[in-house]
Amino acid sequence: MPLLHFVQSIDGYVTNEGIEVIAQKLELATAEVTAVSTFYTQYKSKPVGEYHVGICTNTLCAVMGGDAIFESIKEHLDIENDGVTADGKVSVEHIECNAACDYAPVVMANWEFYDNQTVESAKALVDGARAGNPPAPTRGPSRLVTYKEASAVLAGLDDGLAREGVQVGEPTLLGLKLSKEGKQ
């Protein structure tokens, strides 16, 4: 799996050439590597944008505004789900729950969190990304890296940013506190 991320860090998605190299290195059939890469949605079979934006449209995020954000961003960028802007800068997909429901509605860009989003803040995110100057994630690193750079980190190459910034927010800590007090 790290090798699939590594391929994405080079090619921007999981190419057939990348699958063949992995299969050779690990002495597997290409079908076995393909089976893994097509099972997980984090592995892309076609190019995504330099900044890949995932908008949570699972139940809680949806009712808290995720559905409206998803529709607004698609219209704003004039693309469909899984689409990429003509300049290749931004792609958008709807994503499932990222276990960040206490920050709903949640948007992710290159797998970094943008919590408590609105239509306006999500538009600012994609507009900034298209301009090459995306706002910083609300948790984690102090700046948003590109999809290829994020893939390199997922492949195991430390960029030194992973331990930056807010790691856990107040809503999560409050939930933990209440749980320990037996109130939930």
Binding-site residues for [2Fe-2S] cluster sit at 56, 61, 97, 101
| 60 contacts ligand FES (rule: CB under 6 A) | yes
Residue 182 falls in which region: left (phi positive, over 0), alpha (psi -120 to 50) or beta: left
Would you call 48 exposed, middle or buried from its count of C-beta atoms within 10 A (0-12, 13-18, 19+)? buried
In this complex, which beta carbon is closest to ligand FES, that of residue 37 or of residue 117? 117
Q: How many binding residues for ligand FES (CB under 6 A)?
A: 11
The reply on whether position 58 binds ligand FES by CB under 6 A is yes
Q: Does the footprint of ligand FES cover residue 36 (CB under 6 A)?
A: no
Query: Smallest distance from the beta carbon of 6 to ligand FES, in angstroms?
Result: 27
Residue 53 makes contact with ligand FES by CB under 6 A: no
Strand-pair partners of 91:
52, 84
Judged by CB under 6 A, the residue of 4, 33, 90, 100 near ligand FES is 100
Residues 105-132, buried b or exposed e (16+ Cβ, 10 A)?
bbbbbbbbbbbbbebebbbebbebbbee
> With binding defined as CB under 6 A, does residue 68 bind ligand FES?
no
14 forms part of the interface with ligand FES (CB under 6 A): no
What span, in angstroms and rounded, lies between the C-alpha atoms of 24 and 41?
Answer: 23
Q: Which is nearer to ligand FES, 14 or 122 (by Cβ)?
A: 122
User: What strands, in cross-sheet order, belong to the sheet with 83-84?
Assistant: 83-84, 90-95, 51-56, 107-109, 112-114
* Contacting residues toward ligand FES, per CB under 6 A: 56, 58-61, 97-98, 100-101, 104, 106
